[in-house]
Structure 1
Amino acid sequence: MWEREAGPRIADDDAAATAGSAAAHEAAVKVARGMAPEPLPSRFAAIDWSKPWFAQFAARGQRWQQAALTGYADLLAAMNIDAAQMQQTTGRGQRLAFIAQDDLPPGAPYEGHIASSGCVPTRHNLHDFFNGSMWFAFPRIKAALNARQSAELELLGVGPMRGGVRDMLTLFDENALLFACADPSLSIALRGFDWQTLFVTRRDAWGRGCEVRCFGHALLEKLIAPFKGCTGHAWIVDVPPDYFERDPAARDAWLDEAVSAALLDTDVLTSRMFAPLPVLGIPGWWRENESTAFYDDTSVFRTGRRKR
């Protein structure tokens, strides 16, 4: 699972064409590219805001969900109303706004366009819905990612090879979990694939010595239909002991500032800075993990295959 691609792919033309007629294939491509609304019942209706990975931004998300179910233009309007009120900026200080995917100028790089114009090309799908949500849940982190990604684009240009830094930034953007931890022994357990310590013997430490926030929008999209092997890339954030005495909004603000500063200040960014974390193993996030036997599945809770 650790080697899997972070984000979902659009099926290639040959595979999609076998599923039906040419007309059906064309319609599916339009949906995937955000040029047409998803067929009803829409996947937007499948978001369960009671799930812990969605609950962190449920208040805004429920409003956007209703707008998305109404139509593409309604979703963009709802997102832009919130953007105007928040006065959020992108990686180079441009005022945040959301535009239709088709409004991205031909040949313009996605991250570069966001940095220079402030406008985030957005499709009418769950992937971009959750991407937009993160601009409000963790605005500084999103701006820092955009600043670094656009700088890498200027340095290396657009080509077939993204480069190690852009790969890492994309992995963070698509599949990251923020593992806030005040107890170094728990971070050591996570990095060492010591699932018994992390999830069983130290289970009572969750919520008091460590916790997780979902960040990656592709990961959130996958969690619409959660499966046991769903794994995020955990970015470990050392937090002070009094972090867990703060309310959730204050914790998110602390994480937003600390992680964004790290992304901007760290010279060397590589995928080795992450640790794999099976999402449904997090205590309190999945009923089945209340049984210790849940963690005996070595196809999910694997031992490490590389030295750290």
Structure 2
Amino acid sequence: MRYVAPTREALDRRVLASPPLSHWSGYAAFVEGDAWPDVHALNACWSGESRHRFVTQDKALLADGLHYEERIAKRGAIATRPRNWHDLFNAFVWLRHGPIKRALNARQVAEIAIMGPRERSRPQCALTHFDEAGMVVSLRDPAMLAAWDTHDWHALFWTFRDAWLRGDARVEVFGHALLEHALTPGKLLVGKALVVMGQGDALARCAEAIGSGAILNDPLELRPLPVSGVPGWHPDTGDEAFYTTAPCFQPLRAGRVYPAPL
């Protein structure tokens, strides 16, 4: 069933105080206000020099016949539908995570050159899954990765609860569709994760690996993560039984094996 986000008027603004939306508080004015921001307000948020700009998606824009990704690559024009949560969150991700967005766009355009605008390759599917529902997870403890490998969600989130609370394990939600879903209070969120072990700039490592083609060549490279299990991300994460009863915590499918982390 297709997700339908709440209207701006019906939005329960308490969702903005909890992750993942609370992590985007720098853009809260665009979400909390009664009026929808236009592309001019969004373009004023670019930091430094950028060839990219948000442009209103209308019939005149689409008349150029370009694929969405090609328009970004050739003109730096990011088509943005007015009064649309999905595209508003996409703009936020471009503003915060430009290097990853640019790497995804370059890869998509390269695949379009091979496949044409109507067919989709396995790499394109992987790139799109990450763009829409992706997250970057940073871990330090290999035991946490081992728990994730077997979908031992109780261990990953409850046994290692302190690691999440200390910041030794962190999640950066990248996918704009996932952020849109977070507008519904109490919704159980499951995303598609890239994992980086150790310290350092996890986002920069992901951008480099995506750009080089080292990762995101198949959707099965992405690990599902019920991110609502991160302590504090859902009202029920203080209840141990949540990790064994909530429907988002699915067992590992037979034969499913995940690739090594970055």
> Is the structural similarity TM-score above 0.5?
yes
Q: 1:63: which partner in 2?
A: 29
The Cα of 1:138 is off from its aligned counterpart by: 1.1
The Cα of 1:300 is off from its aligned counterpart by: 2.3
Q: TM-score, normalised by structure 2?
A: 0.87
Question: 2:160 & 2:8 partners in 1: Cα distance?
Answer: 44
The Cα of 1:301 is off from its aligned counterpart by: 1.3
The Cα of 1:294 is off from its aligned counterpart by: 0.6
Question: Is residue 41 of structure 1 aligned with residue 9 of structure 2?
Answer: yes
Judging changes above 3 Å, is the alpha-carbon distance between structure 1 residues 267 and 178 closer, same or farther for their aligned structure 2 residues?
closer
- 1:3-82 aligned at under 5 Å gives the runs 8=2, 41=9, 43=11, 46=13, 48-59=15-26, 61-65=27-31, 69-71=34-36, 74-82=37-45
Any conservation in 2 of the 1:235–1:275 contact (CA below 8 Å)? yes
Counting aligned pairs with the same residue, the percent is 31
Question: 1:47 & 1:98 partners in 2: Cα distance?
Answer: 28
Judging changes above 3 Å, is the alpha-carbon distance between structure 1 residues 97 and 66 closer, same or farther for their aligned structure 2 residues?
farther
- 1:277-288 aligned at under 5 Å gives the runs 277-288=225-236
Q: 1:86: which partner in 2?
A: 48
Question: Is residue 136 of structure 1 aligned with residue 110 of structure 2?
Answer: no
Higher relative contact order (CA 8 A, sep 6+): 2
Amino acid at match of 1:81: A
Question: Is residue 263 of structure 1 aligned with residue 198 of structure 2?
Answer: no
Secondary structure (helix, strand or coil) at the match of 1:303 reads coil
Secondary structure (helix, strand or coil) at the match of 2:15 reads coil
Question: 2:14 & 2:120 partners in 1: Cα distance?
Answer: 32
Q: 2:184: which partner in 1?
A: 225
The Cα of 1:53 is off from its aligned counterpart by: 0.4
Secondary structure (helix, strand or coil) at the match of 1:218 reads helix
- Which of 77, 86, 97 is the matching residue for 2:53? 97
Question: 2:190 & 2:7 partners in 1: Cα distance?
Answer: 28
Any conservation in 2 of the 1:139–1:256 contact (CA below 8 Å)? no
Q: 2:260: which partner in 1?
A: none
Specify which structure has the higher proportion of helix.
1
Q: Which runs of 5+ in 1 are unaligned?
A: 11-31, 33-37, 89-94, 244-253
Q: 1:250: which partner in 2?
A: none
Any conservation in 2 of the 1:47–1:224 contact (CA below 8 Å)? no
* Alpha-carbon RMSD: 2.4
